[in-house]
Structure 1
């Protein structure tokens, strides 16, 4: 049996060689088509979600901005003339035909409406706040022509829920810029506001509340006309034609004589067919002490529907004079209220006497 030979092997202490580290990027591991599709789909989904979030944020911002504009009555749109109601606010208008309406209709025909009406959204339509004459003109134009352009009217839209006093004040603000509005019309508006606002205890309080931007003297005149309208009630058919001086004289008469109001009403009721000029003559007679004598007067002259407008160059500026049935108006940049009443009366008498000639 042979013996196994054993060899002793000596290993040198040699450090193993290490490959140098390279700065070059490692090659990307190869990705399968399924992994690539999943990755691309996830990236697209993330982008779409980000875009949808941005769109929702923009829509929310625009919605809040729209609501704020609508609340302030700054959104303008076209609305059906038949959808506008006029029941929430009692207007200050008389039942007589507005002599300026035909001019407004002619302007709308030629140029369109430059100043939209103002409405509040209500159940089933809109409630008129400002623009009675403009809406009336559109309705008449549509009735007369049948043209589709008059079936819808430009309007600023206000969200529903505005307080009644705010709506009345908007209407008052519009009326104050009209030169032709009478003291009786302003007084009627204040009386209507007082009747529909529980916290307003009297017409005088309503005048102070609604016409706060008017001068103290003007508010005093409006309060006096409210007293006149309250005393004569529905027996007045044309209160808008009563001049300031006549109205104030009638108030003094009524406050100084308990029977005066009844006497004036009796005279008015004795002339049911009277026109504006006839009613004004009765009131002037009453103011001068003749109301208790309802004399039979001659039949009034036929009322003309014609209207004449002339312009006169004056040192104060251009005076626009408008003549129509029962009314003669002068529009001039001049404070006629500051003129001595005696001079005004003399000028008015001379004017009327000259017309007779």
Structure 2
């Protein structure tokens, strides 16, 4: 019988030791990856900030501004008045549906804004807030633009009103006159060319004609927006022919004391029909060289595009007559 081989027990130090399972923790990114991620986040935030700034400056950013922060007198308004019926309809619409179209303002600094377009909406909201005290009407939605040239602001106001409402020729002419008086433009022609650059030559010519009416009778007329094209041009023609016709019109209006637009237009027509005692503007200085008898010399520079007058006949009265004659001419586009 064969002998069994005796097995030697394994050595304890060679026995396999069970190790506890390893719990996986969050993997940490390499340092270079962390730096790249932070840089990308910073760049994205900066890009978003720049885009918001550009949107705000371009008028694509709408903000809710407290009513008292908006200066409605920032620009001389082109609209001289709004009919009660129109304003009541706007107030009713805002009360029922809220503000649907933002106004346009320019940031003046220190939380103040100058109104460019949307005068009627701003006035309607102020009326509603005063009447109701409702917080819904305490703020106005506005497109805020960067401070720019005043001329740009006037153009923006005129463009919006040309699109939204039909302004009278008198209102169009008046805003050009006021822009010149404010120093925005050097003279009437520059104002008309800028404010009504897209207008036809005929339309611009009519507006220019009404400029004379504004300069002579603004502040005297109570209902100037009701003056039609035909009556207005007749008045302008008479103003160019008679140096004292404006004084005659003022006397007629004072005597008649019109209380509505129809009565005022009747008075204006009477002033045209009445025989005035004014003297016709002398034309001798603006006619032929023989009539001037060499008293005035005219110097023209093609290079600088300037006309210079000299001589014993050049005085303040001639300058006034010449200015009136130039203003009465049709506007060239």
What TM-score comes out, normalization by structure 2 length?
0.70
> Does 1 or 2 have the higher relative contact order (CA < 8 Å, sep 6+)?
2
Task: Report 1:291-302 matches (<5 A).
Answer: none
Secondary structure of residue in 2 paired with 1:74 = strand
The CA deviation string for residues 131-175 of structure 1, in whole angstroms up to 9 with x for no partner, is 01111111111111111111111111112x211111111111112
Deviation at 1:44, TM superposition (A): 6.9
Partner of 2:211: 226
| Partner SS state of residue 116, structure 2 | strand
Q: How far has the Cα of 1:123 moved from its partner?
A: 2.4
Query: What does the per-residue CA deviation read over 1:55-89, in whole Å, with 9 as the maximum and x for residues that have no partner?
Result: 21111101111121112111011111111002331
Q: Which residue of 1 aligns with 2:44?
A: 58
**Aligned position for 1:257:** 242
For residues 179-199 of structure 1, give each alpha carbon's deviation from its aligned partner in whole angstroms, at most 9, with x where no partner exists.
43111111111111122235x
Q: How does 1:257-336 map to 2 (within 5 A)?
A: 257-272=242-257, 274-287=259-272, 289-290=273-274
Name 2:118's counterpart in structure 1: 131
Candidates 159, 173, 176, aligned match of 1:187: 173
Question: Counterparts of 1:11-160 in structure 2 under 5 Å?
Answer: 43=29, 48-94=34-80, 97-124=83-110, 125-159=112-146
1:285 CA displacement: 2.0
Assess if the C-alpha contact under 8 Å between 1:94 and 1:238 holds in 2.
no
Q: CA deviation at 1:244?
A: 0.9
Unaligned runs of 5+ residues in structure 1 are 1-39, 294-357
Whether the aligned pair in 1 keeps the contact of 2:252 and 2:271 (CA below 8 Å) is no
Q: SS at 2:59's partner residue?
A: coil
1:267–1:291 contact (8 Å) kept in structure 2: no
Larger deviation: 87-96 or 58-67? 87-96
Helix, strand or coil at the partner of 1:73? strand
2:226 alignment counterpart: 241
Aligned-residue offset at 1:253: 1.1
Q: 1:282-330 CA distances to partner (integer Å, 9 max, x unpaired)?
A: 112223x13859xxxxxxxxxxxxxxxxxxxxxxxxxxxxxxxxxxxxx
Q: Tell which deviates more after alignment, 138-147 or 262-271.
A: 262-271
Question: Hey, what's the Cα distance between the residues in 2 that align with 1:116 and 1:96?
Answer: 19
Specify whether residues 220 and 98 from structure 1 end up closer, same or farther in structure 2 by C-alpha distance, changes over 3 A only: farther
Deviates more, 1:140-149 or 1:45-54: 45-54
Cα distance in 1, alignment partners of residues 82 and 40 from structure 2 = 58
RMSD: 2.3
Paired with 1:143 and 1:290, the residues of 2 have a C-alpha distance of 49
CA drift of 1:93 comes to 2.4
Structure 1 ranges of 4+ moved more than 6 A: none
The match for 2:160 is 174
CA contact (8 A) 1:120 1:127 kept: yes
| 3-state SS of 1:175 partner | helix
Unaligned runs of 5+ in 2: 1-25, 278-333
Distance 1:50 1:96, change over 3 A: closer
Asked if the contact 1:264–1:291 (Cα under 8 Å) also holds between the matched residues in 2, the reply is no
